[in-house]
Amino acid sequence: MTDDMQTLSIDERGYYGEFGGAYIPEILHKCVTDLRESYLRIMESERFRADFDALLRDYVGRPSPLYLSRQLSERFGAKVYLKREDLNHTGAHKINNTIGQILIAREMGKTRIIAETGAGQHGVATATVCALMQMPCTVYMGKTDVERQQVNVKKMQMMGATVVPVTSGNMTLKDATNEAIRDWCSHPVDTHYIIGSTIGPHPYPDLVARLQSVISREIKVQLTEKEGRDYPDWLVACVGGGSNAAGTIYEYLNNDKVRILLAEAGGKGVESGESAATIHLGKAGVLHGCRTLLMQNEDGQITEPYSISAGLDYPGIGPIHAYLAQIKRAQVLAITDDEALRAAYELTRREGIIPALESAHALAALEKVSFAPGEVVVLTLSGRGDKDLETYFRYEDQFAL
């Protein structure tokens, strides 16, 4: 492998191999170019770094702990550490990204924020930082999702955000994203669009990966303290759009001693027709501003993905991960609903930690590989399970141990 292949570095046009790029309407050209030309300068500035670090520490509660799970270690014959993103303010890793992006928006003189959301987690993380910075916030959410996720809708409204139910298409995340892009086209000057994962036109995938890379920077420091070396043998994370995974692996891509295991949502099974296993099933195409692997039918129409976990059912995947899978730097497993539910119940019983359903996909992946005795495994627990309690209760009879 060349150096280039081992890093997340992109070329000038934002490509990771054949994936990425910026496929945008003319009207957004200037604001995407402005963002591309300023994000690195802003992120490297004293002021950004000081504000970002202070907020991650005092508002989010970072560094998030690296916790050695005795139970999982015994069960898998390796040293299994959990990177506890579930302990962050708002309950997941998403806040790392929204804090970073709102600081960038402020530096760029933007006065209004928009976002898309599926289950509402990214919407809540965005509404949170908008309340913090006193910026007006509009969140686009499919009408179906608005009905399914009342608590998150109420939380966003409580924090002052306007939630717009989207009634086009299947009324889910893809349609909400289209609507957010439409809004941005109408307000390109004053509005910043906070995208919630490592997707969208360049520079978003790179920007979001960099903001989430705090996860792997902390792992380095924490492993040095606990293991006397700054890298694990394995990194494990779930992938929806790919942001918690990108943050987890960011600092380690050049280290080929570190194996990367990613878990995508297999739904009812990769071959069942009800799945969100984009890397297994997807074909290359363009959606929401970038070229990546997409779930699509023979005519190239996007097919509706399915997963029990709302955070993983996006029909695309970050171009970074499409690329890492293609060059085999990452091993990608499709985890079914049942496997994720079982792993969630097991962690809850054995460790007293109720994980998010998304994170439970990463936990289930541990069962699918074999570890050499004493190997060090770091698994990112991307979020907490409070938002998934209703789903867990529904399957209580089946999975309670």
Ligand X SMILES: *Cc1c(COP(=O)(O)O)cnc(C)c1O
Exposed (0-12), middle (13-18) or buried (19+): which is 323, by Cβ within 10 Å?
A: buried
What residues are paired with 97 via a beta bridge?
A: none
Among positions 81-100, residues that touch ligand X (CB under 6 A) are: 92, 94
| Nearest-approach distance from CB 27 to ligand X, in angstroms | 27
| Nearest-approach distance from CB 385 to ligand X, in angstroms | 9
Which of 242, 267, 289, 315 is the binder for ligand X (CB under 6 A)?
242
Other beta carbons within 10 Å of 21: 21
Exposed (0-12), middle (13-18) or buried (19+): which is 320, by Cβ within 10 Å?
A: buried
Nearer to ligand X by Cβ, of 138 and 244: the residue is 244
Nearer to ligand X by Cβ, of 309 and 371: the residue is 309
Residues 6+ apart with CB under 8 A from 96: 56, 60, 62, 88, 211, 212, 214, 215, 247
Q: What is the DSSP letter of 90?
A: G
Site membership for ligand X, residue 311 (CB under 6 A): yes
Which of 20, 308, 359, 365 is the binder for ligand X (CB under 6 A)?
359
Nearer to ligand X by Cβ, of 148 and 187: the residue is 148
213 carries an active-site annotation? no
Q: Could you say which of 94, 155, 174, 387 is catalytic? A: 94
Site mask for ligand X (CB under 6 A), range 201-240, x = bound:
-------------------------------------xxx
Residues 6+ apart with CB under 8 A from 240: 197, 265, 276, 309, 311, 312, 313, 314, 358
Nearer to ligand X by Cβ, of 120 and 232: the residue is 120
Residues 6+ apart with CB under 8 A from 222: 63, 65, 66
Nearer to ligand X by Cβ, of 55 and 310: the residue is 310
Q: Could you say which of 64, 85, 110, 116 is catalytic? A: 116
**Number of residues lying near ligand X (CB under 6 A):** 19
Site membership for ligand X, residue 78 (CB under 6 A): no
382 carries an active-site annotation? yes
| Nearest-approach distance from CB 197 to ligand X, in angstroms | 3
174 carries an active-site annotation? no
Question: Considering only CA atoms, which of 249, 269, 279 is closest in space to residue 261?
Answer: 249
Site membership for ligand X, residue 244 (CB under 6 A): yes
Question: Considering only CA atoms, which of 267, 172, 175, 250 is closest in space to residue 212?
Answer: 250
Q: Could you say which of 64, 197, 307, 382 is catalytic? A: 382
Q: Are strands 66-68 and 79-84 parallel, antiparallel or unpaired?
A: antiparallel
Site membership for ligand X, residue 121 (CB under 6 A): yes
Q: What is the DSSP letter of 188?
A: T
Is residue 345 within 8 A of residue 276, CB to CB? The reply is: no
Nearer to ligand X by Cβ, of 79 and 287: the residue is 287
Which stretches of the chain bind ligand X, using CB under 6 A?
A: 92, 94, 121, 197, 238-245, 311-312, 356, 358-359, 382-383
Residues carrying an active site annotation: 94, 116, 382
